[in-house]
């Protein structure tokens, strides 16, 4: 982490759990059940969040929901300019495919909307879902594309020199959402 940065917890572990549990109920609600539902987490933290939402749905509805992960690196619109080539993660879709299924894209933070654009393009190359929904833990505003989420955990106002970090135990050792403020010279 950059020195000279300040972290404030927006959601602690319990708050993230409660939020994910509500988001799970909302997903079932907007899809009117769990039939032909697929949860697709965007690599890397979206995938871990999708896994938790899946467990919540399984607990409350008593059914196993199909799930997978999506790496959007090869569909990024800035690949020619990002410099060092990003490492490509794994895309794993359910064996049933996604044709005629209701796909819920799960990601940690929604910002410019470019990741979601890439995810939608990638999914269109995989098949033809009957519908797609977008589910994010944090909406921090700042959209550059006309994309809006259907299920949101928390809206956060973000100022200049601030960013939102979603932390998951698998990658960061804990579950939390934090607002990070970096001093201009450190940023």
Partner 1 sequence: MSPAASSLGKDLVGLEDLDAGQIRSILDTAEPFKEISERKIKKVPVLRGKTIVNLFMEPSTRTRISFEFAEKRLSADTVNIAASGSSVQKGETLVDTARNLEAMKIDMVVIRHWASGAAGFLADRIPSNVINAGDGSHEHPTQALLDLLTIRDHTGRIEGLKVCIVGDILHSRVARSNIFGLLKLGAEVGVCGPRTLLPAGIGELGVTVFRRVEEAIEWADVLNVLRLQLERMKGGYVPTLREYNRVYGISTRRLEAASGETLVLHPGPMNRGVEIDSDVADGPHSVILKQVTNGVAVRMAILYLLAGGAPEQAEAAKQEGVG
Residues lying near partner 1 in the complex (CB under 8 A) are found at 44-45, 71, 74-75, 78-91, 107-116, 118, 121-122, 125-127, 163-166
Residue 111 CB, shortest distance to partner 1, in Å, is 5
Nearer to partner 1, 28 or 177 (CB): 177
Residue 50: phi and psi, rounded to 5, are -60, -35
Cβ neighbours, 10 Å, residue 174: 11
Nearer to partner 1, 31 or 91 (CB): 91
Contact present, 122 and 72 (Cβ < 8 Å)? yes
Residue 109 CB, shortest distance to partner 1, in Å, is 4
Residue 1 CB, shortest distance to partner 1, in Å, is 10
Nearer to partner 1, 57 or 164 (CB): 164
Name beta bridge partners: 42.
Answer: 70
Nearest to 167 by CA among 138, 134, 141: 138
Query: From CA 80, how far away is CA 99, in angstroms rounded?
Result: 31
Nearer to partner 1, 32 or 78 (CB): 78
Half-sphere exposure of 92 (CA within 13 A, CB side): 9
Residue 62 CB, shortest distance to partner 1, in Å, is 32
């Amino acid at each position: 982490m950059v020195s000279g940065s300040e972290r404030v917890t927006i959601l602690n572990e319990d708050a993230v759990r409660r939020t994910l549990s509500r988001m799970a109920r909302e997903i079932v609600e907007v899809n009117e059940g769990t039939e032909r539902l697929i949860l697709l987490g965007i690599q890397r933290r979206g995938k871990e969040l999708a896994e938790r939402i899946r467990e919540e749905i399984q607990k409350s509805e008593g059914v196993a929901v199909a799930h997978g992960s999506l790496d959007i690196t090869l569909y990024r619109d800035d690949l020619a300019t990002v410099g060092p080539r990003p490492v490509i993660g794994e895309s794993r879709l359910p064996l049933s495919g996604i044709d005629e299924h209701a796909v819920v894209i799960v990601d940690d933070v929604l910002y410019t909307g470019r990741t979601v654009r890439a995810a939608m393009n990638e999914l269109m190359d995989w098949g033809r879902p009957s519908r797609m929904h977008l589910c994010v833990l944090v909406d921090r505003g700042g959209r550059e594309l006309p994309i809006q989420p259907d299920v949101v955990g928390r809206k956060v106002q973000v100022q200049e020199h601030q960013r939102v970090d979603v932390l998951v135990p698998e990658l960061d050792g804990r579950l939390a959402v934090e607002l990070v403020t970096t001093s201009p010279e450190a940023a």
